[in-house]
Structure 1
Amino acid sequence: MNRLSTIRLRHVLLGCALAAFSAYSAAQQVLRVTTIPEEAATEQVRKFGPIASYLEKKLGMKVEFTPVSDYPAAVETLVNKKVDLVWFGGFTFVQASIRSGGKVVPIAQREEDTRFQSVFIAKTDSGIKTLADLKGKQISFGSQSSTSGHLMPRHFLLQASINPEKDFRRVAYSGAHDATIASVVSGKVDAAALDITVWKKFTSEGKVDTKAVDVFYTTPTFFNYNWSVHADMPVDLRNKLQKALLDIDPATPEGAEILKLNRATRYIPTTPDNYKGIEAAGRSAGLI
């Protein structure tokens, strides 16, 4: 190839690169956000609306929050780059990482997510006081893809030599933590497992009578939720987004509202290695 042809080729390649960049930049005028549906869609919108407004100001771009119908949908939307930012549970992050070939990147988690726990609840007059008392009972988990509502409770049951499929009379899946609580309150099931922060929220707001339904077992700690992006997101935007999350200040009215709604004291950095334990639990339980 002569020198003139080489120069022309470089110009063509540069033009293609600039066109691709411009197309991406135009598309990236909107940051698309979603979350796993751990609670009802209306509650998700209420909880994440203020953080979307905050990110708009910090990033200088429009932020659109759209709830998804189920946990697998949250995984697929980020893997396929239909959204840019997702609030994952530890298990859905692991699923997304595996589905994408390691191209899903966690950028921030709540400080609380370094020592997360699940709780098992039952009616106080049920006679259920220990995990062993669950044998022969009807038990509900949340979504099958939930970390705190299924995977880790199942993991700790298996460690206690209790196999849900063999030892429970029936295993149900409510789909969300609030529905899990309702299933015990209504008597549809004898006991259930869920996210400790959702339980504390419901009890603090007086939505559950703890004289009638209460916790009888709390699990050991584990890593849980995070905000994740796709590795193809421009590094500059990823860094700005991470900084914006880490900069949410509890000393300001805006920051205090966001953190209260997100049941957080603050956001801190996180890495994929923090979720190796979740992946190991998933494989051990036969869920991966």
Structure 2
Amino acid sequence: MRSKFWLFSLSLLGVLLYGISQVRSAEKQKAVRIGMMRTIFKDTPDSLLQILMKPFSSVMESQTGLSGDLVMSPSYDKLGKQLCDGEIQVGVFHGFEFAWAKLKYPDLEPLMLAVNNKAILKSYVVVADNSGIKSVDDLKGKSVSFARGNREHCRLFLEHRILPANTSSGKFFGKINLNADAEDAFDGLASGEVEVVLSDSAPWESFKLQKPGTAGKLRVVMISEEFIPAVIGYNPKKLDQNIRDSFKNGMLSASGNPKSKRMLEFVKISSFETIPEDFNEQMSEMLKSYPAP
């Protein structure tokens, strides 16, 4: 699961570079800097990350003739400031992090979304079917496993919708496995080895398909709302319009390019999509449930 998460994140960077390949030669005198949240690579050591990211610079040079940089940002605040200061031209945020950044840096605008229609961004609290756990109030003191590969929205859901205010996981739950293999976690739930599993949507849906009999012994006691997908953001005051339009058009057409489509399918990215008309309303609702820290 962790290796797939790296592949998703690194391939997202690769497709971003493909988008840059659509920029015309008249624009090639400018280097394009892409910033990405460090939390997207949360399970990747810095030493390995440096090795994994090096090929992308050469890919950019060989395929586009453009010079460019890939920049990791430690926080949404830093990434937002970099965009507003013109240090980078394009930033990749978790959806909720973009909402937080826009509160502080209102000049930021969404350019497009990175969407996976087969793995929606939801969190699941799963228990044994014969468990006495009926609601979040019954979770205190229980043993819990966090499925390996859970994305950042799962952490956010845990902190805001499950844990009481100013209470850590260690104080709320009786026993915690922070890095459980998803299949082992659900098997352990069915056998009584653990009482609760907090899972991303993809591991839970996969387990139901692979082991329907065991999954039938489990039930979902709580489901989060659907989170906003990853947002490709920019600052209109700092990004040339021609570069922006070429970049956007290249990204949106990536799933129609056979080579890019295969890469997208491999890492389970359905497509890059335009910003929906109700995006601002979605962000407002997200901020009500998950206010900026």
**Matching of residue 224 in structure 1 with residue 229 in structure 2:** yes
Change (3 A) 1:106 1:76: same
Find the partner of 2:39 among 37, 40, 44. Answer: 37
| 1:51-105 C-alpha deviation (Å, 9 max, x unpaired) | 87777678652333233345544444334433222221121111121121x2112
Corresponding residue for 2:171?
A: 170
Corresponding residue for 1:92?
A: 97
Change (3 A) 1:180 1:194: farther
2:112 partner letter: A
Q: Tell me, what secondary structure is at the counterpart of 1:97?
A: helix
Q: Tell me, what secondary structure is at the counterpart of 1:38?
A: helix
Change (3 A) 1:98 1:53: farther
Corresponding residue for 2:269?
A: 264
Query: Identity of aligned pairs, percent?
Result: 14
Question: Scaled by the length of structure 2, what TM-score is found?
Answer: 0.58
Does the CA contact (< 8 Å) of 2:114 and 2:231 recur in 1? yes
Does the CA contact (< 8 Å) of 1:141 and 1:171 recur in 2? no
How far off is 1:284 after superposition?
A: 4.7
Does the CA contact (< 8 Å) of 2:35 and 2:70 recur in 1? yes
Q: Tell me, what secondary structure is at the counterpart of 1:41?
A: coil
Change (3 A) 1:125 1:71: farther
| 1:102-154 C-alpha deviation (Å, 9 max, x unpaired) | 21121111344799432235675994565343234477999xxx862244566
How far off is 1:227 after superposition?
A: 1.1
- The aligned length equals 243
Gaps of at least 5 residues in structure 1 are: 1-23, 173-178
**Matching of residue 233 in structure 1 with residue 239 in structure 2:** yes
Does the CA contact (< 8 Å) of 2:33 and 2:90 recur in 1? yes
Q: Distance in 2 between matches of 1:140 and 1:92?
A: 25
Does the CA contact (< 8 Å) of 1:113 and 1:223 recur in 2? no
Change (3 A) 1:219 1:168: same
Q: Distance in 1 between matches of 2:124 and 2:266?
A: 24
Q: Distance in 2 between matches of 1:29 and 1:167?
A: 43
Change (3 A) 1:236 1:251: closer
Which has the higher Rg, Structure 1 or Structure 2?
1
Gaps of at least 5 residues in structure 2 are: 1-26, 189-193
Q: Distance in 2 between matches of 1:255 and 1:53?
A: 21
1:62 partner letter: S
**Matching of residue 119 in structure 1 with residue 123 in structure 2:** yes
Change (3 A) 1:76 1:99: same
| 1:247-284 C-alpha deviation (Å, 9 max, x unpaired) | 112561333214533x3111111158414333333245
Q: Tell me, what secondary structure is at the counterpart of 2:275?
A: coil
Does the CA contact (< 8 Å) of 1:138 and 1:169 recur in 2? no
Corresponding residue for 1:107?
A: 111
Q: Distance in 1 between matches of 2:116 and 2:79?
A: 22
Change (3 A) 1:52 1:119: farther
Name the Cα RMSD after superposition. 5.1
1:135 partner letter: K
| 1:149-194 C-alpha deviation (Å, 9 max, x unpaired) | 2445666x38xxx84557977369xxxxxx66579969xx975656
